[in-house]
C-alpha cells in the first residue's frame, strides 16, 4: 500500500537514493533527528540542489525552512527502494568476488536478499558463505524455483557466463547483474546490468595518465563517478 502519487524516478536518482538511505542510517545511529539538504548532500558526496531534486521525485518529504526528518525520510526511502519485502536473489559463482558479495547479504541492504548460492567447484560446494550454504551448479533451476528468485548475479568466469545467464533466464530470472567481462545476450523483457571492475581501473588509469604532463589525448573531465572535492 503506497500512498503518494506515482512519479517517474530516473535511474541515476534511484542509485543515489540508496546512498542517501545508508547515510541516514548512520545519522539515526548518531541520534540525529533532522538534516538539511546541504549536510546530507555533503555526506553523500553530491550537490545539494541535486539531492533536493532527487527527493522531489518522491513527492515533498521535507519541511521548508527546517530540513528533513531523519526517521521520516528514512522510512520513505525504504518504502520506495525496498518495496514491502526484499527481493530474492541467487548468486552464481562463489569465487573471491562472489564471496565478497555474499557477505554483503549480511548487512542486507534494503531491497534484495541472497537466497541461494551456486558454484561448480566441488571444493566450494557444501561450504557456507555469509551464512548460506553453497549448492552445486546443477541445482540452479531447482534453487531458483524453490526460492522464487527473480534476480540473478553472475560472478563466474567469462567463458561460462552466457550459459549461466541462459539457464537463469529459462528458470524465470528477469533481472541480471553481470560481473563477467562479456556482453550477455538475453531475450526481450530481461534486464541486464553490467559491472566491469577492470574497466573501472582502466578508466582511472587513463585519467591519471592525462594529468601526468605528457597527455597524448585530452579528456573532458566531468563529474561522473567523481566525488565532491572541497
Partner DNA sequence: ACGTGTGAATCTATTCACAGCC
Partner DNA sequence: GGCTGTGAATAGATTCACACGT
CB 140 within 8 A of CB 64: no
How many chain residues touch DNA (CB under 7 A)? 31
| Nearer Cβ to DNA (1/12) | 12
Q: 59: left (phi > 0), else alpha (psi -120 to 50), else beta?
A: left
- Asked if 112 touches DNA (CB under 7 A), the answer is no
Q: Which stretch binds a second copy (CB under 8 A): 61-69, 118-126, 139-147, 176-184?
A: 176-184
Q: Tell me which residues in 21-80 interact with a second copy (CB under 8 A).
A: 22, 42-45, 57-58, 79-80
Bridge partners (DSSP) of residue 69 are 34
DSSP string, 112-124: EEEEEEEES-TTT
Q: Tell me which residues in 204-223 interact with a second copy (CB under 8 A).
A: 204-209, 211-212, 215-222
- Asked if residue 94 belongs to a known ligand binding site, the reply is yes
Site pattern 10..49 for DNA (x: CB under 7 A) = xxxx---------------------xxxx-------xxxx
CB 58 within 8 A of CB 4: yes
Q: 154: left (phi > 0), else alpha (psi -120 to 50), else beta?
A: beta
- Asked if 56 touches DNA (CB under 7 A), the answer is yes
- Asked if 170 touches a second copy (CB under 8 A), the answer is no
| Nearer Cβ to a second copy (68/112) | 112
- Scan for cell 531523519, then name that residue: 70
Amino acid at each position: 500500500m503506497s500512498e503518494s502519487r506515482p512519479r517517474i524516478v530516473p535511474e541515476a536518482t534511484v542509485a543515489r537514493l540508496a546512498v542517501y538511505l545508508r547515510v541516514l542510517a548512520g545519522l539515526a545511529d548518531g541520534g540525529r533527528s533532522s538534516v538539511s539538504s546541504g549536510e546530507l548532500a555533503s555526506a553523500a558526496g553530491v550537490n545539494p540542489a541535486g539531492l533536493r531534486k532527487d527527493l522531489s521525485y518522491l513527492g515533498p518529504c521535507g519541511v521548508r525552512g527546517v530540513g528533513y526528518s531523519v526517521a521520516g525520510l528514512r522510512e520513505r526511502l525504504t518504502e520506495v527502494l525496498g518495496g514491502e519485502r526484499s527481493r530474492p536473489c541467487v548468486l552464481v559463482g562463489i569465487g573471491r568476488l562472489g564471496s565478497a558479495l555474499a557477505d554483503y547479504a549480511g548487512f542486507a541492504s534494503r531491497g534484495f536478499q541472497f537466497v541461494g548460492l551456486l558454484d561448480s567447484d566441488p571444493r566450494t560446494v557444501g561450504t557456507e558463505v555469509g551464512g548460506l550454504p553453497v549448492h552445486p551448479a546443477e541445482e540452479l533451476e531447482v534453487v531458483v524455483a524453490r526460492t522464487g528468485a527473480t534476480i540473478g548475479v553472475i560472478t563466474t568466469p567469462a567463458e561460462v557466463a552466457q550459459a549461466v545467464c541462459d539457464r537463469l533466464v529459462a528458470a524465470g530470472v528477469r533481472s541480471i547483474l553481470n560481473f563477467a567481462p562479456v556482453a550477455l545476450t538475453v531475450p526481450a523483457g530481461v534486464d541486464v546490468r553490467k559491472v566491469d571492475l577492470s574497466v573501472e581501473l582502466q578508466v582511472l588509469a587513463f585519467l591519471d595518465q592525462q594529468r601526468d604532463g605528457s597527455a597524448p589525448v585530452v579528456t573532458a573531465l566531468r563529474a561522473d563517478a567523481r566525488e565532491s572535492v572541497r
